Structure 1
Amino acid sequence: MDNSDNTAGDGPAGDGTARRRKRGASMGDVARLAGVSAQTVSRVSNGYEGVVETTRQQVLAAMKELGYRPNSAARALKSGRFHTIGVITFNLSTTGNTRTVEAIATSAAQEGYATTLLPVAVPTQDSVRGAFTRLGELAVDGIVILMEVHLLDAATVALPPRTHVVVADSNAGDRYRVVDTDQAGGAHAAVQHLLDLGHRTVWHVAGPAESFAAERRVTAWRDALRTNGRAAPEPLRGDWSAESGYRAGTVLADQPDCTAVFVANDQMALGVLRALHERGRRVPDDISVVGFDDIPEAASFLPPLTTVHQDFSEVGRQCVQSVLQQIRNDQEETGTTLVATRLVVRDSTAPPPIS
């Protein structure tokens, strides 16, 4: 009986194929099938330029046929690069942080980098040090920190050696590269808009005192009023939530001389609008309201909210570009990059009522 058809796969070639399938194809296997050197396979798998296109396609076809997957761990050990960016954030419940993290992950992926997210539930110096330690164990090339609170000033945190850092929303530009929204410019535009409509002054619902962004907006609000020779009422404090905005709105509703209010974010502005409505203060007929963020729902508030637009996608993109530049140049950088804001005028602002 002729067993040649049954034993063809049991010869040397067949054994080699079986062994490759069991252990996984190697770079040498790809090189032999493609008829090129292992160095050429390495250059193709690492995306290097300078490989003739026909040769590149030949290598890619061999990789596909053999099911070859480059060993990224081995490459990382050899090059010292892990193609991963760590992200530390202290509050994922805020619109700004959520959208910035999303933009960082998207931008990093477009550059061929993965992201490792470490949210810090309780903002203390020890918890941040712990996050840095964990990122060091996970092997990242750089870190983006979404920093909001004074307690966690970057200067107090001991960073792992040779770790490149970019900080969002911080005043640490003299120590690290910072990417931030132009908080002051946006707040000034909001206040100036209300004054130009004819309001004598502008009240303010501020964010939490420990927030860098909130404090910059408070400072810009005061400066804009001072520049125009107007008195600044005592600001009311919130915690970024609509509930805290509602509480502030109940206070504002009882101020007969309040005709305009600048609210430090849109969620608190939503609470202010509700409180004013419940107390019979019409917006914008009696009181004009301006928010900050331009969240997607702002145009659907009642009335549609005039607000300061923040480009969170651009902040995230700039964070990634800044940390990659440091990685590629293998050097730390300092200074601050500001991403522009713009005022979006809708139906929640109007001239003050005629007294």
Structure 2
Amino acid sequence: MSAEFPSVRPRRLRSTPAMRRLVAETRLHPAELVLPAFVREGLTEPKPITAMPGVVQHTRDTLRRAAVEAAEAGVGGIMLFGVPEVQDAIGSEGTSPEGILQLAIRDVVSEVGDALVVMSDLCLDEYTDHGHCGVLAADGSVDNDATLERYAEMAVVQADAGVHLVGPSGMMDGQVAVIRRALDDAGHQDVGVLAYTAKYASAFFGPFREAVGSSLKGDRKTYQQDPANAREALRELEQDLAEGADMVMVKPAMAYLDILRRIADVSPVPVSAYQVSGEYSMVEAAAANGWIDRERTILETLTSIRRAGAEQILTYWATEAAGLLR
């Protein structure tokens, strides 16, 4: 062969679907997917979330059905968010044994048992009338340590309801340690903590505010991480691990794949990533306009998150993607 032609031809390994499948470096599996789901108190039928086409606020009954559908599709877990009818300054419904999230946990656990890992959002923003993730001080700032006391109470009532993993998402300093101690003191040593280790003050959370009925005014920049910063994510990781986190998370996912990779490279515990509402809604909007191939894009985005190091991916497409993968 003439020297002007290449002898190294990477295209040989792209030549057929079977060849591409054989040499694929990254594989998605339904068991790696987690379905975030919203349940709203007082609903008699599901309420569509206009900013998230295809996603709804569930009734307790439709949530049960969604959990069964996810389990039958092979999805690994479900993350539950409660939307109460009444909000107040300290988020009282978040710690009521009869609060909507605690009822939903019982419903889902009784419906699917151990077929899904049942996770719960441990945060006050859904329950407070000011929309912040914690208790406010007199000057209007979020009081870190007063909030930790509320988180400890939330952890115990969620564990009493039967949850497998609690997901503290408020980004309060010391939250994992306080929650771990509260769970252990209450006899819930087997309930795990999925720490929201690197949660950024992101514009991509926008549609989520509708999903949980948030009344937030202002922003959360004093407690969520600055999108400009990477090193502090590793500092948060070190702290969460020292405090007893069983798993850690990066949120959002797609705009923070570099952070995800850095954490995955050094974490001794499983690393999750949350493909958030804005990331979901952008794809759905582009697909609705015919600009992209929806199903290919769903799988490509999930593959990119998995490739960057996530071992579990929270995604609103979890059940659908599991079907596509099968």
Provide the TM-score with structure 2 as the length reference. Answer: 0.28
> Relative contact order, CA 8 A, sep 6+: which one is greater?
2
Q: Which structure features the higher share of helix residues?
A: 1
Normalised to the residue count of structure 1, the TM-score between the two structures is 0.26
